């Protein structure tokens, strides 16, 4: 190991350590400030920067965790050194941390909230993709529709939610009051996507999720309609599918299509 490498490793350990070392032989002593105070500038700065970055990316979690939020961040920072050059990506492991670390794992809404916040965060600067419009889709010949396979935006995320997590995020975004945490009767799906430069999120209707899920799996249009038939009478299934399709196109969820 080179002496430069050794120096960097020792300084790294001093910054990551739980308590600032009072002395470190590699640091030059002088009469201006003691070594402990000098190292503390770096040790403190590291933690502040990581906490600030997390606060930026997890407003819903901040709202939900309330007074516990700072402690939660401290624990995550202590357990997870940052590995990515972009500090924004430091939050990528927060939901998984909340899944397994006590006492947070006993409050599963927190991990779910972190996943929602993170999906919104990464949709913000995901790759730009073209989106199809209604006029283009109208040109598809009627006999080709049953085999039509929709291609959806890659920056679209569907998250399974067991709690009213979206309400917390919405309240955080709009400066609203902290909602009351509620467990949903049935898990529901939250759709997160970006249209042009704006990130959106909304809860999917049960039937819509069945059809959209089939589209994401690459199933043809006939199979999407079959999914809706389980929820609607024969006469209303097709109009419902048309309405959904129109909504997906307007929301910019559809990139294009191909034929099975």
Partner 1 sequence: MSTSTIGLPYLGYGLGLRTEHYQDLLADPGQVEWLEIVSENYLVNGGLPLIWLQRFRERFPLVMHGVSLSIGSTDPLDEDYLSRLARLARRIEPAWVSDHLCWTGVQGVNLHDLMPLPYTEEALEHVAGRVRQVQDRLKRRILLENVSSYVSFADSQLSEWEFLAAVAERADCLILLDINNVHVSAMNHGFSALDYLRGIPVSRVQQFHLAGYEQGEHLIIDTHDAPVSHAVWDLYIEAVRRFGRVSTMIERDDNFPPLAELRAELEHARTLAEPLLRNAA
Residue 243 and residue 208 in contact, taking contact as beta carbons nearer than 8 Å? no
In the complex, minimum distance from the CB of residue 16 to partner 1, in angstroms, rounded to a whole number: 7
Instruction: Give the dihedral sign, CA 131/133/137/139.
Output: negative
Question: Within 10 Å of residue 61's Cβ, how many Cβ atoms?
Answer: 32
With CB under 8 A as the contact rule, the residue among 138, 186, 197, 234 that binds partner 1 is 197
Q: Please, which contacts does 102-106 make with residues 24 or more away whose CB atoms are closer than 8 Å?
A: 104/72
Residue 225 and residue 237 in contact, taking contact as beta carbons nearer than 8 Å? yes
* Beta carbon nearer to partner 1, 9 or 236: 9
CA dihedral (183, 184, 187, 190) in degrees, to 10, reads -100
Q: Which stretch binds partner 1 (CB under 8 A): 8-16, 138-146, 174-182, 214-222?
A: 8-16
* Beta carbon nearer to partner 1, 43 or 63: 43
Our finding on whether 128 is near partner 1 (CB under 8 A) is yes
* Beta carbon nearer to partner 1, 3 or 186: 3
Residue carrying the six token digits 């294009």: 256
* Beta carbon nearer to partner 1, 27 or 101: 27
User: Which one, of 151, 165, 152, 240, lies nearest residue 193 by Cα?
Assistant: 152
Our finding on whether 200 is near partner 1 (CB under 8 A) is no
Our finding on whether 28 is near partner 1 (CB under 8 A) is yes
* Beta carbon nearer to partner 1, 19 or 217: 19
Q: Which residues bind partner 1 (CB under 8 A)?
A: 2-5, 7-9, 11-12, 15-16, 25-28, 30-35, 37-39, 41-42, 45-46, 49-50, 81-87, 124-129, 194, 197
């Amino acid at each position: 190991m080179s002496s430069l490498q050794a120096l960097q490793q020792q300084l790294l350990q001093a910054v990551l350590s739980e308590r600032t070392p009072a002395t470190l032989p590699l640091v030059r002593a002088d009469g201006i400030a003691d070594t402990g105070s000098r190292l503390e500038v770096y040790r403190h700065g590291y933690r502040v920067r990581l906490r600030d970055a997390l606060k930026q990316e997890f407003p819903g979690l901040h709202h939900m965790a309330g007074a516990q939020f700072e402690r939660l961040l401290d624990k995550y920072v202590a357990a997870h050194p940052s590995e990515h050059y972009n500090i924004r990506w430091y939050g990528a492991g927060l939901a998984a941390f909340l899944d397994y670390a006590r006492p947070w794992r006993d409050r599963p809404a927190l991990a779910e909230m972190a996943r929602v916040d993170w999906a919104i965060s990464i949709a913000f600067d995901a790759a730009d993709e073209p989106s199809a419009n209604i006029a283009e889709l109208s040109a598809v010949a009627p006999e080709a529709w049953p085999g039509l396979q929709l291609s959806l935006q890659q920056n679209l995320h569907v998250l399974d939610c067991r709690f009213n997590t979206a309400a917390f995020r919405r309240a955080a975004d709009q400066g609203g009051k902290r909602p009351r945490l509620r467990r949903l009767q049935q898990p529901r799906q939250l759709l997160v996507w970006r249209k042009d430069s704006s990130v959106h999120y909304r809860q999917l209707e049960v039937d819509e999720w069945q059809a959209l899920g089939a589209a994401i799996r690459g199933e043809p249009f006939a199979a999407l309609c079959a999914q809706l038939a389980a929820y609607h009478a024969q006469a209303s299934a097709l109009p419902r599918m048309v309405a959904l399709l129109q909504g997906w196109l307007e929301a910019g969820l559809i990139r294009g299509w191909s034929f099975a």
